[in-house]
Amino acid sequence: MIEFTLWDILRNLLLATRWTILLSLVSFVGGGIVGLVVMFMRISANKAVATAARAYIELFQGTPLLMQLFLAFFGLALLGMTVPAWLAAGLALILWTASFLAEIWRGCVEAIAKGQWEASASLGMGRIQQLRYVILPQALRIAIPPTVGFSVQVVKGTALTSIIGFVELTKAGTAVTNATFQPFTVYGLVALIYFALCWPLSRTSQVLERKLNVAHHNH
Amino acid sequence: MSLITITEVKKRFGDNEVLKGINLDVDKGEVIAIIGKSGSGKSTLLRCVNGLETINDGSISVAGAQLLPGEAALKALRLKIGMIFQSFNLFPHLSAGRNVMLSQMVVKKTPKPQAEEMARRMLDRVGLLHKFDAYPDELSGGQQQRVAIARALAMEPLGLLCDEITSALDPELVNEVLAVVKELASEGMTLLMVTHEMRFARDVCDRVVFMHEGRVHEIGAPDTVFSNPQTPELKQFLGML
Amino acid sequence: MGYQLNFGWLPQYLPVLIDGIGVTIYLMAVGAVLGCLLGTVCAWTRALGPNWARPVVVAYVELIRNTPFMIQLFFIFFGLPSLGVQMSELEAATLAMIVNLGAYSCEIIRAGIQATPRGQFEAGASLAMTPFETFYHVVLIPALQRIWPALSSQIVIVMLGSAVVSQIAAQDLSYAANFIQSRNFRAFETYIVSTLIYLVLSILLRQVLAGIGWALFPKRKAAR
Ligand SMILES: Nc1ncnc2c1ncn2[C@@H]1O[C@H](COP(=O)(O)OP(=O)(O)OP(=O)(O)O)[C@@H](O)[C@H]1O
Ligand SMILES: [Mg+2]
């Protein structure tokens, strides 16, 4: 039997962490783009469009990410493709992320006081101009802390993709456990690596939030 | 024998010495008004007597219960003396009746029927028996403050500390609260109250304490204090009104 | 594109699904109740408890909130036995749910406690209540009322997250789905059905939580 040193274990885990990071980035950026579209649909004056966006958000926030991953995996397969795990993983995570970011950002847009809408309307701006020049610049400021905060959920969400066979940190953890029979050490290390990825994001979000609150109070 | 004994009490917040050696004895049944400029330490003194602030020096005792750190000593002290706050501080999730019952049941372990009976009596005393089931946000400020008085009375304290209990009220509601306090005074309740109602202080109080920069600057019967102030500070304070 | 969706297998496997739903509801109910209880204790400790205990709670909360639920689950189920702590799949899943929700609800409830006006603590104290009695009888209910919507959302998120307990073979709804699709070879349809069941469960759960809030907080306006 081969002896695994702690360093062997750690090195294998760290190598797999690259994929966790890459998938997180792709999901976050992709989810942000889709989420922006959904958010604009959600605040649209057109009832049908807004309802569709709401249904999308309800659906993705009201069902487990794991089920969404399975549906992406097996659903894509039905289209006759052999589906690589990364594709299903990326697709499901992007759609899932989009639903949360859309809702977070909608909250930010709606937090802008009604007076701002009215003032800009009274200056003769159309809805698009109001958004572009008055509402969004203000919403952006308050959107940053919760958006950074949600990125933590995305990183943690990538762990589920191991279940459909994408080899990232969690999957590597399982593989290394099976080879070393040291679940305590291995999963402990996996947890610490996730912590090292997520904690700085959590802290940043908290610090930004506090700064924003202070800035608000000084007004 | 005095009920409340305050001896050489000093209190600092950081470098800011707010009470600089306060001496005051309050007899049983006495009604005392504390007046003075904003920031002179009136609230702080009252809060110290109730154990809401710790003191840096000196001693406070109420009917033999000393102000000492520790839950048991604080409880003994607070059972002897109640406090009414400027902002009422009713418990928003409990009806008026429940507000009055809670501490009896929790602190004194009074059985519920007796606590309820007491609550009804006390609410009746402040003229609010019909509001037994009303929640605080359904009551006017004056009514809330009267419930707060009933709540404190239900603990059967020997004295009450009142910190500007009418300052948060609309002018037309002030009198209903003062009437209750006057009634208490006439029944022999010991009262130590910070107030800006000079007329009331003059009519109801036995003694008036003028605090200035953390000290008892002048003390005496209302007539003397209001009509014949000795120090320029008190003269200025009264002239300002 | 000749694929026809086929749900003909559904009646035959309905009992399996129902068993799975039962376990998911059990996990959710026990996890929510004990998790919120743990969260309340931790929130009290962080906001008002003894100084030495606060860093312990902070460490627990940060550790849980910054690691995936699945890793917590694996650590409990696969890792702890090497310390001599053996658990069944269901016990491990339940414990993981409690520990996970405990950390999230701690943060949420703490925010509710900290929004309590100082006068409420002082009123309790002036009535001779101990700090704990004041917390329990005076502060807690309005604090919970303030954060009930946030807490409800978190409970729903944790319920949906429970789907991964099938990975340690706890026999919840997702386990049932995995089992069925390995027999009927209709993976897509099976997961559509189980996903819809989760959707219904999360909608029902929201209703139940709203009802609990309604019963728990007789007075709907909390003090600010
Ligand atoms: N918790 C505290 N921390 C620091 N300083 C305090 C605190 N409480 C009171 N002070 C300071 O103590 C001084 C006296 O305050 P206090 O509230 O006793 O005055 P007051 O006589 O009641 O005034 P007012 O008429 O405005 O109520 C003030 O300078 C105040 O800033
Ligand atoms: Mg004051």
pLDDT in tens, B69-81: 888 999 999 999 9
What pLDDT is recorded for position C224? Answer: 38
Partner C contacted by A64 (CB < 8 A) = yes
Q: Where are the domains of chain A?
A: 6-218
- The best mutation among B38, B83, B195 to test binding of ligand 1, ranked by most ligand atoms within 8 Å of the C-beta, falls on B38
Q: How many domains is chain C built from?
A: 1
What pLDDT is recorded for position C175? Answer: 96
CB contact under 8 A, B93 and C219: yes
What pLDDT is recorded for position A60? Answer: 97
CB contact under 8 A, A187 and C70: no
CA–CA min distance B216, chain C (Å) = 24
- Residue A217: pLDDT band (50, 70, 90) is low
Chains with ≥3 Cβ pairs under 8 A against C?
A, B
What pLDDT is recorded for position C220? Answer: 53
Q: In the CATH scheme, what is the code of domain A6-218?
A: 1.10.3720.10
- DSSP one-letter string for A23-52: HHHHHHHHHHHHHHHHHHHHT-S-HHHHHH
Nearest alpha-carbon partner for C157 in C65, C63, C34: C65
Consecutive H or E run containing C133:
helix C131-134
Nearest C-alpha in A relative to C5 = A78
ipTM value, please give it: 0.92
B24 contacts: CB under 8 Å, gap ≥ 6: B4, B6, B32, B209, B216, B219
What pLDDT is recorded for position A39? Answer: 94
The answer, yes or no, to whether residue B127 has pLDDT greater than 50, is yes
Give C18 Cα–ligand 1 centroid separation in angstroms. Answer: 64
* B37 Cα nearest atom in ligand 1: 25
CB contact under 8 A, C78 and A183: yes
CB contact under 8 A, C75 and A187: yes
Determine what percent of chain B is predicted with pLDDT higher than 90: 91
Residue range of the domain that includes C124:
11-223
CB contact under 8 A, C126 and B82: yes
Pocket of ligand 1 (CB under 6 A): B 13, 16, 18, 36, 38-44
Average pLDDT, chain A: 91
What pLDDT is recorded for position C223? Answer: 43
Within 132-151 of C, beta carbons closer than 8 Å to B belong to 133, 137-138, 141-142, 145
- Say what angle helices C89-114 and C53-65 make with each other, to 10 degrees: 120
Nearest C-alpha in C relative to B137 = C221
* B196 Cα nearest atom in ligand 1: 25
Nearest C-alpha in B relative to C129 = B107
Q: How many CA atoms does the CB half-sphere of B200 hold within 13 Å?
A: 24
Question: Is there an interface between A and B (3+ Cβ pairs < 8 A)?
Answer: no
Nearest alpha-carbon partner for B135 in B165, B169, B177, B90: B90
Q: Is the dihedral of CA B113, B119, B124, B130 positive or negative?
A: negative
Question: For residues C142 and C116, is the Cβ–Cβ distance under 8 A?
Answer: yes
Chain C partners within 8 Å of A71 (Cβ): 188, 191-192, 195
Can you tell me the mean pLDDT for C82-92?
92
- Residue A117: pLDDT band (50, 70, 90) is confident
Q: pTM of this prediction?
A: 0.91
Token readout for A51 is: 């309802």
C3 assigned to some structural domain: no
Average pLDDT, chain B: 93
The answer, yes or no, to whether residue B151 has pLDDT greater than 70, is yes
What pLDDT is recorded for position A172? Answer: 92
CB contact under 8 A, C119 and B103: no
Nearest alpha-carbon partner for C40 in C55, C57, C24: C57
Nearest C-alpha in B relative to C121 = B89
Give B163 Cα–ligand 2 centroid separation in angstroms. Answer: 7
CB contact under 8 A, A182 and C82: yes
Chain C partners within 8 Å of A156 (Cβ): 66-69
Chains with ≥3 Cβ pairs under 8 A against A?
C
What pLDDT is recorded for position A219? Answer: 52
The answer, yes or no, to whether residue C117 has pLDDT greater than 80, is yes
Q: What CATH number is given to the structural domain containing C149?
A: 1.10.3720.10
Residue B23 phi/psi, 5° resolution? -125, 130
> Looking at residue B91, what DSSP letter applies?
-
* B214 Cα nearest atom in ligand 1: 14
Chain C partners within 8 Å of A80 (Cβ): 1
Partner C contacted by A34 (CB < 8 A) = no
Average pLDDT, chain C: 93
Chain B partners within 8 Å of C123 (Cβ): 85, 89-91, 148
- The best mutation among B44, B215, B233 to test binding of ligand 1, ranked by most ligand atoms within 8 Å of the C-beta, falls on B44
CB contact under 8 A, B89 and C217: no
C1 assigned to some structural domain: no
CA C64 – CA C101 distance, rounded (Å): 9
CA–CA min distance B211, chain C (Å) = 23
